[in-house]
Amino acid sequence: MNTEHELVNLSRTQISTAEAEGGVAKVIVTCAAGAVAQETRDRVVEALTAVLQNSALGADDTQEWQETLPTWLLDRFTSPKTPEQANEWLATWRRLPPAERKQFELDSWDLNSWINWFTEEDRAWRWVGSRVDSKTSFTVFLAAEGWPFAWQALEWLIIQAGGMPELVG
């Protein structure tokens, strides 16, 4: 699937039963308290559209990404780490119990690291479509290159937009 096709898929809000059950991964998103599914989904689509439309930018083109991505998202990134800070982060992560590692990771995304996971080489999934299931939930359909696959950058985006995602396969 190429970028233009995926950009069209971002606007798709109706998914056929065959598509929904046809070998795609599903992410069920429950909205956080007070969030509305359509608005949360729209924020995710807004950010992904900006990323895909500017895929020629490198992960290190920080200034360009800051001018491209929505402000609500930019405000949620941490500062980039120096090599020393990255080593300290890794040492801390290794000391954490496994149950606490995921949250530690989710709290640590910086802009360049997050963008890097959307490069053609590193992204193991493509957006097929989505549908709003109720006022407080929606489903995202992804074409994935195998199972399991790396989707943490998308997971983080959904959380920042106001959702609580669960990958259900």
* For the chain, domain boundaries: 3-167
Query: Which DSSP helix (H) or strand (E) runs through 166?
Result: strand 163-167
Contact criterion met (CB below 8 Å) for 64 and 56: no
The number of beta carbons lying within 10 Å of the beta carbon of residue 128 is: 24
Task: State the average pLDDT over residues 16-43.
Answer: 82
DSSP β-bridge partners for residue 29? 138, 165
Over residues 57-116, the pLDDT tens digits come to 887 888 999 999 999 999 999 988 889 998 999 999 999 998 899 888 888 899 998 998
Res 108: pLDDT: 84
List 139's β-bridge partners, or say none: 28, 131
Contacts of 80 (CB under 8 A, 6+ apart): 110, 111, 112, 113
Structure tokens at 50: 């900006």
**CB hemisphere CA count around 105 (13 angstroms):** 14
Question: pLDDT (tens digit, 9 = 90+) per residue, 113-137?
Answer: 899 888 888 888 989 999 999 999 9
The 8 Å CB, 24+ separation contacts for 46-53 are: 46/70, 47/73, 47/157, 47/161, 48/10, 48/127, 48/157, 49/7, 49/10, 51/115, 51/118, 52/3, 52/6, 52/7, 52/10, 52/118, 53/7
- The average pLDDT across 19-47 equals 86
Question: Sign of dihedral through CA atoms 67, 78, 61, 48?
Answer: negative
